[in-house]
Amino acid sequence: MHDTPAEPTPEQRAALAWTQSARFLTTASQLNQLPPPGLPETAFVGRSNAGKSTAINLLAQQRRLAFASKTPGRTQHINLFELGPADAPDARWADLPGYGYAAVARDAKLRWQQVMADYLRNRHALAGVVMMVDARHGFTALDRQLLEFVMPRVGVGEVKLLVLLTKADKLSRNEAARSLQQAQKVLGEIATEHSDIGITLFSALTRQGLGDAACTLRAWTPSTPSA
């Protein structure tokens, strides 16, 4: 599906200007190395190869921002980015390690699963989670497991959730509609009346869903009015 995306609306443009302020802050291999919670944080999660780095780089309009997490030795770190004016940052993004990568040893996988579970369950500053899911595959068992970590907080409205069905350009229009419907069904089953859950088809290639994703992210961390 290669629709030409509509021109961004003024609201989307403003939201994208904000996402493009993202810059690298720090990296942590353990939760206690993260800076003390202060600014609201949005976590990006997804199976490895789901398109997480590509999506972050596109939102930030920086080709290599999220690829820091791909350099050897850093794949299992949490990378933090800061957003907003340089002298008055108003939000952080946390790029969590991609999961399900076959080559990672079992011990390391288990350790990391624990760190992610800990982060998602306990990180006080966590305001929202963006989950990247390959639109061709839908939610995998590991995605569902990760959702379980965070659903208690999503269910009470403490943490928001946005699912990006990535690589939508690889699907026909009908296939994309079906993928969206199936994923919505899964989310409908776990949502409560208090949860704030969004989902959109997303493509880094066509930019489908980019403006909407930026608006959602911006709305999660309302901050200083732009003077």
The least distance separating ligand GDP from the CB of residue 54, rounded to whole angstroms, comes to 3
CB of residue 69 to ligand GDP, shortest distance in Å: 7
Residues near ligand GDP (CB under 6 A) are 46, 48-54, 98, 132, 166-167, 169-170, 203-205
What token pair was written down for 119?
A: 């982060």
Q: Rank residues 23 and 70 by Cβ distance to ligand GDP and give the closer one.
A: 70
Cα distance between residue 206 and residue 208, in whole Å: 5
DSSP state of 196: -
Identify which of residues 89 and 98 has a Cβ nearer to ligand GDP in the complex. Answer: 98
Q: Which is nearer to ligand GDP, 34 or 204 (CB)?
A: 204
**Shortest separation between residue 41's beta carbon and ligand GDP, angstroms:** 19
Backbone angles phi, psi at 93, to 5 degrees: -115, 140
- Which of 38, 25, 216 is closest to 125 using CA atoms? 38
**CB closer to ligand GDP, 46 vs 198:** 46
CB of 204 to ligand GDP, least distance (A): 4
Q: Are 65 and 57 in contact (CB under 8 A)?
A: yes
d(CA 101, CA 91): 29
